[in-house]
């Protein structure tokens, strides 16, 4: 600051310094910055928009050259199939072919089965689309898309054949030709833009898994330092893990011929989820023991120092063997601490329970838990390394199981069936000239959004995009397209609006509306060889389109509408059912299945939470994570029993707890019997462990005590969440 300003009063000094004045910006700056995706797009967005526009115009040109009856469907297929990555586009194209084939066959069957019988024909289509939407809710990725596509493709073909059912085979072949043509053009143009696709796919997969590993190790390191908020910050990682798991499938498509790198990548992600749960279990043990162990403090400091350096070391492949060696050394330190504590306890002359004996046992419990945590990290790094190159003779397979909500699936199917049935009834009653188009677009909208967890949000954006398509196509139809008679001029007129739609599709804020805009723009313009859309046809088609989407929005709001509270209630009850199942199911459930289902539930909660989760959502997130940790420790307890190294009394104590857990009702009342039985089993094992002479049995009992400590602590700390007798609110946990 200049010396002259020091002589002025403090108020004038602050004013003249300029620090408290707002930044002066040009008028309309905020509005223009929101359009930056249009006037200053990223290179990736511009490349996507240009290549997809070229592919759409190429498909339209070929369809018109082939004298097909409805050429816009070829361009629409290009925009439907086009995705941000080649793996997504190829996967979607593959499943679109499957869905189209199933839908075409079902359309032929329905038209042939119910000729001139609309009151049988339309209910049959409604039931078919409802079944497709219901089944699509239970699967993931573009397999779900193939199922809904088979539903609305059946509607498109069957409804188009209502005016001429004798030509159903030719109509089916025509629609199938559009789809194959659109997929072929999109794939051909995209291949020209693709460069080093396989190596890029491997690099992207590596970066994503590396990011997940680095975030997890940072969270565990901060937790060992006493930062309990670290897990709150890292909870979003569960949603990221599920997203990365879905994207691995697309990376495998991009890699072409490959081994089992994708399976190892999924296994690495599952190990990261278990690692985070192990960290939560470590925090629970430290709180449950309510003591500070100097030896464990020293070991945890070594571990934290190592964990903080892992993300940077993962950048270099040559460092992975050294990381694994360091992990082995750290695990060796943990085991040596366990042996030292056990040897000191055996050599002591004290035969009764004292503070010193308890401290030695606590030292062994904590070091055993830390050893298992490091073992999980070692497994994750081993799978990460295996995902980077093909291994000869490798037959490894790994899939993460997803949460399935059968009630939600039934709701989606019923909602779609009601929408199609109601739109067909409107056409039958009114004899609307554009009724077929109305029903067709209702079927398309229901197919695209019926499987969404909250379809109302998606359909509103879809309606906005359709409005933009109507507006832009109006300018093209009424002002520009009456003049050109050559395809070159037609392509020049359509190119800029299509490129703008492609840019909007790559902008997250406008992607939902852009999907509708790009899909319906070619259809509303309606270019053809012998016909040109006139004003009356344009207004009728636009009105039918907007009415169909608006009608679908109305159905989604009125018929079994999505309810966040009800979904959380079902999810919580299902979690409690799964906890009971874990304790008694034969054969014993796999860890990866339990992790997959709970990770999916966790990511659903995060998606519905929004940018600022409510206290109830926050409590649900914590409760779901705790339930996952309880389940993992139940599985580990059963593994200890299966090894058969426990004395009969210890075996009975654990069996008693598992029997009680298999009857876990979730109705705590005033007592919380399951948590009380877990604490009783812990006390029994502590007494038995102190008197046991067999070293192997003592080590096994130490592990069992460590697992029971986590279970009893989490059952007590999350009693309100695990009480299924009443709806859960955040205030219940206070």
Among 386, 414, 449, identify where a domain stops.
386
Query: Mean pLDDT over all residues of the chain?
Result: 83
- 88 domain residue, yes or no: no
The tokens describing 114, both together, are 């119910």
Our CA angle for 391, 395, 401, nearest 5°, is 115
Task: Pick the closest to residue 342 from 706, 690, 709, 704 (CA basis).
Answer: 690
Of 78-82, 266-270, 412-416, 730-734, the least confident: 730-734
Asked if residue 635 belongs to a domain, the reply is yes
Mean per-residue pLDDT, 308-325: 90
> What is the CA 351 to chain-centroid distance, rounded?
54
577-623 residue pLDDT tens:
888 889 888 888 888 888 888 888 877 877 776 666 677 777 788 88
Residue 479, pLDDT score: 78
End position of a domain, from candidates 351, 386, 421: 386
The pLDDT value recorded for residue 328 is 93
Token pair of 277, please?
Answer: 């749960």
Mean pLDDT of 303-314: 91
Which CATH number is 346's domain given?
1.20.58.220
Number of domains forming the structure of the chain? 2
pLDDT at position 205 over 70: yes
**544-581 burial, b if ≥16 CB within 10 A, otherwise e?**
bbbbbbebbbebbeeebebeeeebbeebbebbbebbbe
- Would residue 538 count as lying in a domain? no
Asked whether residue 260 is domain-assigned, the answer is yes
**Helix and strand counts by DSSP (H, E) for the chain:** 29, 0
Q: State percent of the chain over pLDDT 70.
A: 87
Give a yes or no: residue 24 inside a domain: no
Q: Tens of pLDDT along 495-538?
A: 999 999 999 988 888 888 898 999 899 888 877 766 666 778 88
How is residue 85 annotated by DSSP?
S
How far is residue 724's CA from residue 569's CA, in Å, rounded to a whole number? 9
Domain annotation covers residue 141: no
Calculate ∠ Cα 634-640-646, nearest 5°. 130
CA distance 23 to 20: 9
Where among 337, 367, 386 does a domain terminate? Answer: 386
pLDDT tens by residue, 234-252: 666 777 777 787 788 777 7
Region 79-107: mean pLDDT is: 84
pLDDT at position 15 is: 46
Q: Which residues contact 531 (CB under 8 A, 6 or more apart)?
A: none
Better pLDDT: 96 or 637: 637
N- to C-terminal Cα separation, the chain: 52
Q: Distance between CA 624 and CA 632 in Å, rounded?
A: 12
65-74, 108-117, 388-397, 421-430: which range is least confident on average? 388-397
* Contact in structure between 311 and 251 (CB atoms under 8 Å): no
By mean pLDDT, which of 1-10, 166-175, 419-428, 508-517 is the weakest?
A: 1-10
pLDDT at 16: 46
Q: Is the pLDDT of residue 21 over 50?
A: no
pTM: 0.81
Say whether pLDDT at 671 is over 50.
no
Q: What pLDDT is attached to residue 669? A: 52
> pLDDT at residue 5 above 60?
no
Q: Residue 603 belongs to a domain with what CATH number?
A: 1.20.58
Residue 457: the pLDDT is 73
List helix spans (H) across 194-319.
197-224, 229-234, 236-255, 261-289, 294-313
Residue 28 has pLDDT above 60, yes or no: no
Mean pLDDT along residues 666-670:
54
Question: Which tokens in the block code for residue 311?
Answer: 């993300």
Q: Which residue range(s) make up the domain with 269?
A: 198-386
Residue 25's SS3 state is: coil
pLDDT at 375 over 70: yes
Q: Is 448 in contact with 466 (CB distance < 8 Å)?
A: no
Please report the pLDDT score of residue 198 as a whole number. Answer: 73
Q: Is 194 exposed, middle or buried (CB count within 10 Å of its CB: 0-12, 13-18, 19+)?
A: middle
Which pLDDT does position 649 carry in this prediction? 92
Asked whether residue 255 is domain-assigned, the answer is yes
- pLDDT class of 734 with cuts at 50, 70, 90: very low
Q: What is the pLDDT of residue 576?
A: 86
Q: Give a yes or no: residue 93 inside a domain.
A: no
Are 189 and 51 in contact by the 8 Å Cβ rule? The answer is yes
Strand ranges (E), 641-693: none
Q: Is the pLDDT of residue 150 over 60?
A: yes
């Amino acid at each position: 600051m200049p010396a002259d300003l020091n002589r002025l009063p403090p108020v004038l000094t602050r004013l003249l310094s300029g620090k408290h004045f707002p930044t002066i910006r040009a008028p309309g700056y905020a509005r223009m910055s929101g359009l930056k995706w249009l006037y200053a797009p990223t290179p990736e967005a511009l490349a996507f928009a240009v290549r997809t526009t070229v592919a759409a115009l190429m498909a339209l040109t070929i369809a018109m050259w082939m004298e097909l009856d409805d050429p816009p469907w070829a361009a629409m297929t290009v925009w439907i199939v086009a995705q941000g990555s080649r793996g997504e586009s190829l996967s979607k194209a593959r499943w679109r072919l499957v869905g189209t084939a199933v839908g075409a066959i079902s359309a032929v069957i329905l038209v042939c089965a119910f000729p001139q019988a609309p009151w049988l024909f339309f209910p049959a289509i409604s039931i078919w689309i409802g079944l497709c939407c219901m089944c699509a809710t239970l699967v993931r990725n573009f397999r779900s898309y193939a199922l809904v596509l088979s539903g609305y493709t059946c509607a498109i073909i069957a409804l188009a054949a209502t005016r001429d059912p004798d030509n159903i085979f030719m109509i089916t072949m025509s629609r199938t030709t559009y789809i194959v043509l659109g997929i072929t053009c999109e794939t051909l143009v995209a291949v020209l833009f693709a460069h080093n696709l396989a190596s890029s796919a491997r690099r992207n997969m590596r970066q994503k898994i590396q990011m997940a590993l680095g975030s997890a190790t940072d969270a565990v390191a901060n937790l060992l330092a006493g930062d309990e908020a670290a897990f709150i910050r890292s909870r979003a990682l569960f949603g990221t893990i599920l997203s990365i798991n879905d994207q691995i499938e697309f990376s495998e498509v991009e890699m072409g011929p490959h081994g089992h790198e994708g399976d190892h990548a999924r296994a690495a992600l599952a190990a990261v989820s278990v690692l985070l749960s192990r960290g939560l279990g470590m925090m629970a043990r430290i709180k449950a023991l309510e003591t500070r162990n100097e030896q464990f403090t020293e070991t945890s400091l070594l571990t934290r120092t190592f964990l903080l350096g892992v993300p940077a070391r993962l950048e270099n492949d040559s460092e992975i063997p050294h990381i694994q060696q360091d992990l082995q050394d750290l695990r060796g330190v943990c085991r040596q601490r366990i042996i030292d504590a056990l040897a000191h306890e055996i050599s002591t002359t004290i035969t009764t329970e004292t503070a010193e004996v308890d401290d030695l046992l606590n030292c062994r419990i904590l070091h055993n838990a830390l050893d298992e945590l490091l073992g999980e990290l070692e497994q994750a790094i081993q799978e990460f390394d295996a995902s980077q190159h093909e291994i000869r003779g490798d037959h490894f397979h790994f899939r993460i199981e997803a949460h399935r909500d059968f009630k939600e699936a039934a709701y989606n199917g019923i909602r779609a069936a009601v929408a199609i049935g109601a739109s067909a009834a409107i056409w039958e009653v009114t004899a609307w000239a554009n009724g077929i188009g109305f029903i067709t677009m209702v079927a398309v909208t229901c197919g695209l959004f019926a499987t969404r967890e909250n379809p109302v949000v998606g359909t509103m954006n879809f309606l906005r995009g359709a409005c933009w398509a109507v507006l832009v196509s109006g300018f093209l139809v009424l002002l520009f397209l009456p003049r050109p008679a050559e395809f070159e001029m037609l392509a020049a007129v359509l190119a800029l609006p299509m490129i703008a739609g492609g840019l909007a599709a790559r902008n997250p804020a406008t992607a939902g509306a852009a999907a509708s805009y790009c899909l319906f723009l070619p259809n509303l313009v309606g270019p053809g060889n012998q016909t040109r859309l006139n004003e009356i046809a344009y207004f009728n088609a636009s009105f039918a389109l907007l009415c169909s989407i608006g009608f679908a929005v109305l159905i989604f709001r009125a018929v079994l509408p999505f309810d966040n509270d009800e979904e959380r209630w079902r999810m919580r009850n299902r979690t409690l059912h799964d906890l009971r199942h874990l304790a008694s199911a034969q054969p014993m459930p796999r860890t990866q299945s339990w992790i997959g289902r709970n990770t999916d539930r966790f990511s659903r909660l995060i998606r519905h939470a929004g940018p600022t989760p409510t206290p109830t959502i926050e409590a649900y997130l914590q409760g779901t994570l705790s339930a996952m940790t309880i389940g993992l420790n139940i599985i580990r307890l059963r593994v200890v029993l299966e090894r058969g190294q426990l004395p009969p009394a210890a075996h009975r104590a654990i069996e008693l707890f598992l029997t009680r857990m298999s009857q876990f009702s979730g109705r705590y009342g005033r007592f919380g019997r399951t948590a009380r039985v877990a604490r009783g089993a812990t006390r029994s094992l502590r007494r038995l462990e102190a008197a046991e002479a067999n070293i192997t049995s003592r080590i096994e009992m130490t592990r069992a005590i460590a697992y029971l400590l986590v279970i009893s602590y989490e059952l007590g700390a999350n009693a309100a969440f695990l009480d299924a007798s009443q709806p859960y609110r955040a205030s219940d946990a206070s």
